[in-house]
Protein backbone atom coordinates (compact mmCIF):
# COMPACT_ATOMS: atom_id res chain seq x y z
CA UNK A 1 0.00 0.00 0.00
CA UNK A 2 1.25 3.43 -0.94
CA UNK A 3 1.83 6.13 1.65
CA UNK A 4 1.28 9.54 0.13
CA UNK A 5 3.45 12.54 0.94
CA UNK A 6 1.81 15.03 3.27
CA UNK A 7 0.26 18.15 1.76
CA UNK A 8 -1.60 21.18 3.03
CA UNK A 9 -4.27 23.11 1.10
CA UNK A 10 -6.67 25.94 1.92
CA UNK A 11 -10.21 24.65 2.42
CA UNK A 12 -13.71 26.09 2.59
CA UNK A 13 -15.09 27.56 5.83
CA UNK A 14 -11.75 29.26 6.53
CA UNK A 15 -9.95 26.04 7.37
CA UNK A 16 -6.69 24.47 6.28
CA UNK A 17 -6.64 20.80 5.25
CA UNK A 18 -3.53 18.79 6.08
CA UNK A 19 -3.36 15.19 4.92
CA UNK A 20 -1.37 14.03 7.97
CA UNK A 21 -4.04 15.48 10.29
CA UNK A 22 -6.75 13.45 8.52
CA UNK A 23 -5.41 10.12 9.81
CA UNK A 24 -7.55 8.08 12.16
CA UNK A 25 -10.47 7.97 9.72
CA UNK A 26 -10.81 6.60 6.22
CA UNK A 27 -10.67 9.41 3.70
CA UNK A 28 -12.19 9.87 0.25
CA UNK A 29 -10.45 12.48 -1.90
CA UNK A 30 -12.27 13.23 -5.13
CA UNK A 31 -10.71 15.43 -7.79
CA UNK A 32 -13.09 17.18 -10.16
CA UNK A 33 -12.47 19.56 -13.07
CA UNK A 34 -14.55 22.65 -12.21
CA UNK A 35 -17.12 24.09 -9.81
CA UNK A 36 -20.66 24.58 -11.13
CA UNK A 37 -20.29 22.39 -14.22
CA UNK A 38 -22.90 19.66 -14.82
CA UNK A 39 -20.77 16.55 -14.14
CA UNK A 40 -19.02 18.07 -11.13
CA UNK A 41 -22.31 19.29 -9.66
CA UNK A 42 -23.85 15.83 -10.13
CA UNK A 43 -20.85 14.06 -8.57
CA UNK A 44 -20.62 16.49 -5.62
CA UNK A 45 -24.38 16.28 -4.99
CA UNK A 46 -24.22 12.47 -4.91
CA UNK A 47 -21.34 12.59 -2.40
CA UNK A 48 -23.48 15.08 -0.41
CA UNK A 49 -26.52 12.80 -0.44
CA UNK A 50 -24.47 9.81 0.73
CA UNK A 51 -22.33 11.80 3.19
CA UNK A 52 -24.19 10.56 6.32
CA UNK A 53 -23.44 6.99 5.22
CA UNK A 54 -19.76 7.83 4.66
CA UNK A 55 -19.70 9.31 8.17
CA UNK A 56 -21.33 6.17 9.62
CA UNK A 57 -18.59 4.13 7.92
CA UNK A 58 -15.94 6.23 9.73
CA UNK A 59 -14.99 8.10 6.56
CA UNK A 60 -14.41 11.75 5.72
CA UNK A 61 -14.89 13.16 2.20
CA UNK A 62 -13.09 16.10 0.56
CA UNK A 63 -13.32 17.46 -2.97
CA UNK A 64 -10.40 19.10 -4.77
CA UNK A 65 -10.24 21.26 -7.89
CA UNK A 66 -8.10 24.13 -9.13
CA UNK A 67 -10.88 26.66 -8.50
CA UNK A 68 -10.37 29.53 -6.05
CA UNK A 69 -11.65 29.39 -2.48
CA UNK A 70 -14.25 32.03 -3.38
CA UNK A 71 -15.56 29.80 -6.18
CA UNK A 72 -15.56 26.82 -3.79
CA UNK A 73 -17.47 28.73 -1.09
CA UNK A 74 -20.16 29.66 -3.63
CA UNK A 75 -20.36 26.09 -5.00
CA UNK A 76 -20.52 24.62 -1.47
CA UNK A 77 -23.26 27.06 -0.40
CA UNK A 78 -25.31 26.68 -3.60
CA UNK A 79 -25.48 22.88 -3.27
CA UNK A 80 -25.27 22.67 0.57
CA UNK A 81 -22.19 20.44 0.48
CA UNK A 82 -21.45 19.24 4.05
CA UNK A 83 -17.76 18.49 3.46
CA UNK A 84 -14.72 20.63 2.70
CA UNK A 85 -13.67 21.64 -0.79
CA UNK A 86 -9.94 22.21 -1.17
CA UNK A 87 -8.48 24.84 -3.47
CA UNK A 88 -5.45 23.56 -5.38
CA UNK A 89 -4.63 26.58 -7.55
CA UNK A 90 -0.91 25.65 -7.48
CA UNK A 91 -1.72 22.00 -8.42
CA UNK A 92 0.12 20.65 -5.36
CA UNK A 93 -2.24 17.72 -4.71
CA UNK A 94 -3.06 17.38 -8.43
CA UNK A 95 0.62 16.67 -9.11
CA UNK A 96 1.00 14.31 -6.14
CA UNK A 97 -1.91 12.22 -7.40
CA UNK A 98 -1.09 12.65 -11.09
CA UNK A 99 -4.55 13.83 -12.12
CA UNK A 100 -3.61 16.61 -14.57
CA UNK A 101 -4.12 15.39 -18.13
CA UNK A 102 -4.39 16.71 -21.66
CA UNK A 103 -8.06 16.50 -22.58
CA UNK A 104 -10.23 17.41 -25.53
CA UNK A 105 -12.78 20.08 -24.70
CA UNK A 106 -14.99 21.54 -27.43
CA UNK A 107 -12.49 20.29 -30.02
CA UNK A 108 -9.46 21.89 -28.33
CA UNK A 109 -6.60 20.32 -26.37
CA UNK A 110 -6.76 21.61 -22.81
CA UNK A 111 -4.82 20.75 -19.69
CA UNK A 112 -7.12 19.92 -16.82
CA UNK A 113 -8.08 17.60 -14.00
CA UNK A 114 -9.12 14.09 -14.94
CA UNK A 115 -12.07 13.16 -12.70
CA UNK A 116 -10.48 10.79 -10.18
CA UNK A 117 -11.14 9.47 -6.68
CA UNK A 118 -8.78 8.03 -4.08
CA UNK A 119 -9.57 6.19 -0.85
CA UNK A 120 -7.05 6.30 1.98
CA UNK A 121 -7.34 4.15 5.08
CA UNK A 122 -7.01 5.29 8.71
CA UNK A 123 -3.22 5.09 8.48
CA UNK A 124 -3.12 7.27 5.36
CA UNK A 125 -2.32 4.39 2.98
CA UNK A 126 -3.84 4.48 -0.50
CA UNK A 127 -6.32 1.59 -0.73
CA UNK A 128 -8.13 2.21 -4.02
CA UNK A 129 -8.19 4.65 -6.90
CA UNK A 130 -10.52 5.37 -9.78
CA UNK A 131 -9.37 7.46 -12.76
CA UNK A 132 -11.20 8.90 -15.75
CA UNK A 133 -14.51 7.94 -14.21
CA UNK A 134 -18.09 8.89 -14.99
CA UNK A 135 -19.72 11.16 -12.40
CA UNK A 136 -23.15 9.53 -12.15
CA UNK A 137 -23.32 6.71 -9.61
CA UNK A 138 -19.66 7.00 -8.67
CA UNK A 139 -20.22 8.15 -5.06
CA UNK A 140 -22.31 5.02 -4.39
CA UNK A 141 -19.54 2.80 -5.78
CA UNK A 142 -16.97 4.52 -3.54
CA UNK A 143 -19.26 4.10 -0.51
CA UNK A 144 -19.56 0.34 -1.18
CA UNK A 145 -15.77 0.08 -1.19
CA UNK A 146 -15.38 2.19 1.97
CA UNK A 147 -17.79 -0.12 3.80
CA UNK A 148 -15.40 -3.04 3.13
CA UNK A 149 -12.55 -1.28 4.96
CA UNK A 150 -14.15 -1.70 8.38
Which residues belong to the active site? 40
Handedness of CA 74, 96, 57, 40 (dihedral sign): positive
Instruction: Look at strands 59-65 and 84-87 and give their pairing.
Output: parallel
Determine the Cα–Cα distance for residues 107 and 128; give it in Å rounded to an integer.
Answer: 32
| Pick from 31, 32, 11: nearest CA to 22 | 11
Amino acid sequence: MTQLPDFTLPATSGTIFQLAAARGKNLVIYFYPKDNTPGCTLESSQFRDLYPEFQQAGCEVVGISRDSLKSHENFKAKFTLPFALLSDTEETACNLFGVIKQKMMYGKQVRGIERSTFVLDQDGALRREWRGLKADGHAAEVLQFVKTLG
